[in-house]
Amino acid sequence: MATEPEDELAGTEQPFVAHLVELRDRLIKAVIAIAIVAVVLGVYPGPGALYDILAAPLIAHLPKGATLIATSVISPFIVPLKILLMTAFLIALPVVLWQVWAFVAPGLYSHEKKLVLPLVVSSTLLFFIGVAFCYFFVFGQVFSFIQSFAPKSITAAPDIEAYLTFVLTMFIAFGCAFEVPIVVIVLARMNIVPVEKLKEFRGYFVVLAFIIAAVITPPDVVSQLALAIPMCLLYEVGIWAAQIFIKHTKAPEDKAAEEAKT
């Protein structure tokens, strides 16, 4: 007679209030981490210097002597402050995600931990890579392309708030686009869409990637290609990674069922 597998989580249940207390403590630690980074960045290099770093790709392609302008009285204070907080959150993101993981992990089985932790780490890295790709490569190409079409009679003087909105939109777009492998892996691992179906969907995804790029990015060929092409390549990476991931994160009962079949 087959014995029931032992429940790994047996005896680990906690009262609801204890969960709330732990969640509060985790949130406080995450906020403290963000606040510490914000204070450090406020001292050095400072909010103004952070904005200068963010604006560097655009300034490099503006006509000589042209600068960004502030059309609102409080913009020179509010905009750098927003960038300071955004940067502090991104730098402290590993600590924030670790607090989330520490809160969730005790309630997961060992095979579920093998599934969640790699996805959390890899999705964070991919988001950062997408943002870095946008800042170091895409911005330079886009601003150069746009300025090449600007009439000589026009002096470019972008508003700092409009530029911040543009930058954040592009960062989020490229950061999320680089999450394509994670989405593919989750779809395949949860058996929502089998790997074979994902392979058959390649052609449709290429069309979808270019449509998304056309909607999200500015109306220029450079930024659209810079978003669509990496998405297509990352889709292939996701299919390859999904097959490996599924193999190494199966539940014990699934492994036992496969062994019984063989």
Per residue in 85-97, pLDDT tens?
A: 999 998 998 888 8
Q: Where are the domains of the chain?
A: 19-249
pTM of the model: 0.81
Query: Per-residue pLDDT for 132 more than 60?
Result: yes
Query: Per-residue pLDDT for 220 more than 90?
Result: no
Of 219, 193, 217, the closest CA to residue 205 belongs to: 193
Determine the pLDDT at residue 1. 45
CA distance 22 to 141: 47
Determine the pLDDT at residue 2. 47
